[in-house]
Structure formats: structure tokens, C-alpha cells
Amino acid sequence: MPVIFFHAGFSYFHGGFVGVDVFFVISGFLIGRMLFREYNQTQRLDLKAFYWRRYLRLTPVYLFAMVVFYFLAGPDYSQTLWANVLYVNNFLPLESMSMPWTWTLAVEEQFYIVLPLLLSLLILPFRHALGVLLGLFLLSFIIIGLVASNDAQLWHQPYHRLFSGKDNIIHYFDTLYVNLHTRFGTLICGVILAYLTVYRARWLQQVLSRRLLSTGLTVLALVVMISGVMLNGNKQWLGESLHLARLNLILDRNLFGMATCWMIVLCSAPGTTGKLVNRFFSARLWYPFAQLSYSMYLFHYMLAVPLVLMTVNILKHSPGPAPLMQHHWFLLMFVGLVLVTVPVSLLTYTLIERPFINLRKPAAAAAGGTAKVAATA
């Protein structure tokens, strides 16, 4: 929902794209937990079954979305849809992408291809699997630092100037924002949490039972998450400092991922705070949105563009002085976008997503009883 707020142009949610980082953490956590449970029960990973389940979960409705995009946007804007079919659209420059908002699916699918191979061949067979995972997480910081420091346009400008014009934004997007090697940190963060819940659950409970430590980590996580949203919403906060800009480039997304992991842990806590958080996110109100979230993600942008253009056109031709695109207009656009996106997503979920999800269940059950987790991942 924050991502849809952001794409609707609602100015309070200019930092809403941090929802992508939350999504990556949750995705890494769910997939990692499914794989760890399977390995814990069978001492092996059924890679063929895993890849087939992922294909059935992501691809059918995605292919349908590509067809819809082709007819809506026309052939001139659909020349690189082949890259979407292969989940390599994030390798292309932003201006060459078809359905550019689906770069996250490319990153996710590339990670899904690599992760089971790493786990089965290089990580799980050895005693220090957690150390290897932590090493990969540390490596993600190093890679971001190397990429950023070897790019003068990123490394020698204050943070706000990275987003001060179209060329700067596109450069940031192509260089640092959409690539697996610069975004796998939050995915690995979720995988590490999954490992801890499967193999170190008692240690997690001990951390949660220490009230002072638990409260301190909760406050720290909230500060990191709120700061991340606000900083991405107002990039002037770091001023002209190059040091702060560089630190933010290297640290911000992975720190946000760590904070998200702690909030997930908190949801399982027996204390009052954990119960409240868990009760809020477990409310039945969110269930329809959780079921429809993938279809909403695929189709919302196709619906947002004509809605925004229509609203701008109405405002331009309104009598009297031209009204500004103020907050209430963006809020109305968001409400309109949700009202249009939900029924479209419900239709595609019912006719395409759900039937293919049901096809996965026998394979998931055969892979060590992980069907329940797989059904939502």
C-alpha cells in the first residue's frame, strides 16, 4: 500500500517506496523459512519442486499483465517485454524498460534462482551456516560501497542532488537501485531471520524475554524505520554533507531491513507490545489486501497513469485560478486508484492467480510439508 501511495503521487508518501525494502525482507524470510524447514526435515532441498512452485506463483498472472500492458501502451513502449518474460528487465536502462515498476520481480526471481543453490551447495551442509549468511549480509554493504564510490556522480554529490533532475534520478536508478548485487542485502536479512526462527528459536526468545534489551531494540528499530521514510520523503535533511550522503547510500536500505526484521520478531513476542503489533497486522481487514497484493502491484501503475493524467487535465481546465495539486487531490487519486485496482485485481486473482496457486499445493506437500508457507510466499 505505501508503494501505491507513492505511485499515486501523494506527497506525504514520497518515502513510500521503502515498502519495497519491507517486501524484500518479508520475501526473503518466507522463502528462507520454507527452505530451512524442508532441509531440517529431509536433509535436502528439492530444487526442481521449488523452482516450479515459484514459476507457478509469479509467472502466469505476470504474463497476462504483459499482454494487457502491450495493448494499453502499444508496441513502441513494449519492445523490451522479452526481458520481463526472462526476468532480466532490471538489466536494461530505465528508459528502455517495459513495465519499469516490475524491476522488483526481476530482482526477486534472480534471488530465488541463486538462493537455493547457495543453501544446498555452500551453506547448509556446513556447520557455520549462520556465519556464511552473516558474511553475505556484510558483503552487501561492501558491494554497495564499491559501486557507489567508483561512480563520481553518486559519490561526489550531496544526497539531495542525486534526485534533483531527470538525468540524476535515472543514473541513480540504473546504477544503484534496481540491481540484484546492490539490493540483495534486505533479502538476505530476511533469510537470516528465517534461519534464526528455525535453528535459533530459543535464542530469539531469550532476547525477547529481556525487557530492557527488547524495548531498546524496538525503539531503535522504530527510529531507523521512521527516519528512513522521512529521509526518503525529504532528501534535503542531509544538507550538503558528502560524508552523510555516502553513509546513507551504503547503510540506509540494509539498516531499514534489519529494523524490519526486528519488528517481525516482535510480532511473535508474548509481551503486550508484541501482542498489539501482531494483533494489528493479523487483523482480518488486511487479509483481502494480502491475497490481492501481487495483482494490485502488477496492475496499479497501469491504472495510475491515466488516472493522474485525467486529474491533471481536469484541474487545468477548471474555472478561475489554476488550483495546485495539493494533498487532498493526491488523496482522492489514491482512493480512486484503490477503488479501480481492487476489482481488477480480484478478477485476475480469481481467474488466474488462485488456480495456479492450487496447482502448486501437491508439489509443496511433497517437498516436506511446507505448503502452508509456500501458499503465501
What tens digit of pLDDT does each residue of 68-122 get?
999 999 998 899 999 999 999 999 999 999 999 999 999 999 999 999 999 998 7
pLDDT tens, 168-208? 999 999 999 999 999 999 999 999 999 999 999 999 999 98
Which residues lie below 8 Å from residue 377, measured CB to CB, with a gap of 6+?
Answer: 27, 30, 31, 34, 57
The model's pTM is: 0.87
CA distance 117 to 125: 12
* Per-residue CA distances from 328 to 8, 301, 321, 335, 355 (Å): 12, 20, 17, 10, 39
Cell of 29: 524470510
Full pLDDT tens readout for the chain, 377 residues = 555 445 444 444 455 568 899 999 999 999 999 999 999 999 899 999 999 999 999 999 999 999 999 999 999 889 999 999 999 999 999 999 999 999 999 999 999 999 999 999 878 887 789 999 999 999 999 999 999 999 999 999 999 999 888 899 999 999 999 999 999 999 999 999 999 999 999 999 999 888 899 889 999 999 999 988 888 767 888 889 999 999 999 999 999 999 999 999 988 776 656 677 777 777 888 888 889 999 999 998 898 877 777 776 776 666 655 554 555 666 777 788 888 899 999 999 999 999 998 887 654 444 444 334 333 45
CA distance 80 to 99: 9
CA of residue 151 relative to chain centroid, distance? 25
Supply the pLDDT for residue 377.
54
Cell of 42: 529431509
Q: Among 19, 15, 21, 16, which Cα is nearest to 255's?
A: 21
* Per-residue CA distances from 39 to 14, 35, 120, 198, 367 (Å): 41, 6, 9, 10, 9
